Amino acid sequence: MPFFRPVLLIIFFVFFYGLHSFSQPLKESILVKKYSPKQLKEDAELMKNVTLAMHPVIGIYKSRTFYNKLFDDFINELKDSLNEKEFRIKTKLLLDEVHCGHTEALQSKAYYKEIVKQNHNYSPYFFLPIKNKVFVLASFNKKKDTLLKKGTEIIEINGIAVDSMLRYCKRFISSDGFNQSGKDHYIQSGFNSFYHSLFGRPDTFTVKYMAGKNIKTLKYAAFKTKTIPNIPLGLKADTLFTRYRLAKMQFKYLDAGNKTMHLKIDAFSRRRTNKAYRRIFRKLKKNKTENLIIDLRNNGGGSLENSYNLLSYLIDSSQTQTLRTPLKSYPYKKYTRGNVFFKLMRLGFSVIAKKRTINDTDNFVYSINPRKKNHYDKKIFVLINGGSFSASCLVAAYLKVNKRAVFIGEETSGAIEGCNAGITPYYTMPNTQIKIRMPVFRIVHDVSPKITGHGIIPDYTTEYTMKDILNKRDLDMHKVRELINK
């Protein structure tokens, strides 16, 4: 019997603690947790108050009265319980009416931590939208023969026409003003995630596609993965470029005589840019380079200081840019961070720029002066597309209005008159914990203050077909070479 006593004790403890664990309610997953209409309205009310109190776009594209009604209608329609994703979808559709590419609604930290652990159903095909059509670009499973060949046009996915899908998905992409090129651009790389998130993740997919002049139907199984494999859309990295990794830029000469330089700026970095610019523009002067191609395609912006620095090598006369804000301090500070940094930023602007206060709004007017040393005054060609945004549009706008460059590509996603940015704190909603990105400054391009709601329009527009993309053609560079050769 001494042997059975410890065994009986073990059984007792296992049984007792097993009952205890079953008596405890399982923690509800943040992915399905519902929030009551009261909680949702509290979050929406805070979102409204913060937007009307600080967002620089109010009165730019739509009136304050419009936004008051927009938010009130949104709040009044919250009559059912919703989970975080459902509420965030409604919020993103609401914020699309703000017409600001720097304003965004992001998932809560808890939701993100949970979702990245999950395996999800995906279609094994990478679909590529071009305008209002969708094509097959690649198959994720390269080991098996693909039933849908590259370049096949897709008409319908799971019973929904692709043009309807695209229109809906684009509403979740923030863009300045009434610009559509940015939405078209970002939907190309993001469509495969968008349509799964917005239209479901079934075990099987049914697609209708074009086979010659006929429409055929194919049904195939989904595959599970945490993330979609990366499918590069652009050209392969060119090893001939000299790279400044920290400065996010690279350059190369296109000819043996060093007459044409291709300068690609991937982003306006805050690191090691002064040194990079000094070396590049010294080289341009030394080689008496006749043509400079500045590639701002897919450049989402970055440092204002960096963009001012680049412009100083290119503009012929002094220019100004105005950053304005009525705020002395963040409103509703309980729900955000960085108020001290914002005050320091205001102080810094007052030192490096001229401060003018008009009707309680502070205007910080910064002067961009041309450099004498290594200034570039020869021909400039600028490549732009729907991925050119924020600080890259600042550079493009000043070069465009001052007629310092020829522009090739697509309309930029950032507006020619400026944007809302400078600094963009995140406000955390009290119940759902979703984060709302809220810009503080209105950045006015003084060379083009008229409100257009559109980006920088190229002098020569390029339109890529599916065949161009499959064959890795660079139509923008082809056009530049054509213009230079003329």
Structure tokens of 357?
């206060």
Closest listed residue to residue 135, CA positions, set 209, 238, 193: 209
Structure tokens of 190?
């993001």
Q: How far is CA 295 from the centre of its chain?
A: 18
Structure tokens of 302?
């970055």
How far apart are alpha carbons 55 and 204 in whole angstroms? 44
How far apart are alpha carbons 128 and 134 in whole angstroms? 5
Note the pTM of the prediction, 2 decimals: 0.90
How far apart are alpha carbons 11 and 441 in whole angstroms? 67
> Sheet of 441-445: strands edge to edge?
354-358, 361-368, 319-325, 441-445, 418-421
Structure tokens of 136?
């097959």
Indicate the angle between helix axes 37-54 and 64-76, nearest 10 degrees: 170
Going residue by residue through the chain, which has 486 residues, state the pLDDT in tens, using 9 for 90 and above. 443 344 334 333 433 444 444 444 556 788 899 999 999 999 999 999 999 999 999 999 999 999 999 999 999 999 999 999 999 999 999 999 999 999 999 999 999 999 888 888 888 899 999 989 999 998 877 655 578 899 999 999 999 999 999 999 999 998 899 989 999 999 998 898 888 889 988 999 999 999 999 999 999 999 888 777 777 677 777 888 999 999 999 999 999 999 999 999 999 999 999 999 999 999 999 999 999 999 999 999 999 999 999 999 999 999 999 999 999 999 999 999 999 999 999 999 999 999 999 999 999 999 999 999 999 999 999 999 999 999 999 999 999 999 999 999 999 999 999 999 999 999 999 999 999 999 999 999 999 999 999 999 999 999 999 999 999 999 999 999 999 998
- What one-letter code names the amino acid at 232? P
What pLDDT sits at residue 145? 59
- Identify the CATH class of 120-225: mainly beta
What pLDDT sits at residue 226? 78
Domain boundaries, the chain: 34-115, 120-225, 242-424+440-485
What pLDDT sits at residue 225? 83
Q: Is the dihedral of CA 89, 90, 93, 95 positive or negative?
A: negative
Domain 242-424+440-485 has CATH 3.40.50.1000: no
How far apart are alpha carbons 441 and 323 in whole angstroms? 6
What pLDDT sits at residue 4? 35
Those residues with Cβ within 8 angstroms of residue 207's Cβ, 6 or more apart along the chain or in another chain: 148, 154, 155, 156, 157, 158, 217, 218, 220
What pLDDT sits at residue 18? 45
How far apart are alpha carbons 423 and 425 in whole angstroms? 7
What pLDDT sits at residue 17? 43
Provide the CB-side half-sphere exposure for 31 (13 A, CA): 8
Longest distance between any two alpha carbons in the chain, whole Å: 103
Phi and psi, residue 200, nearest 5°? 100, 165
What pLDDT sits at residue 228? 75
DSSP state of 32: T
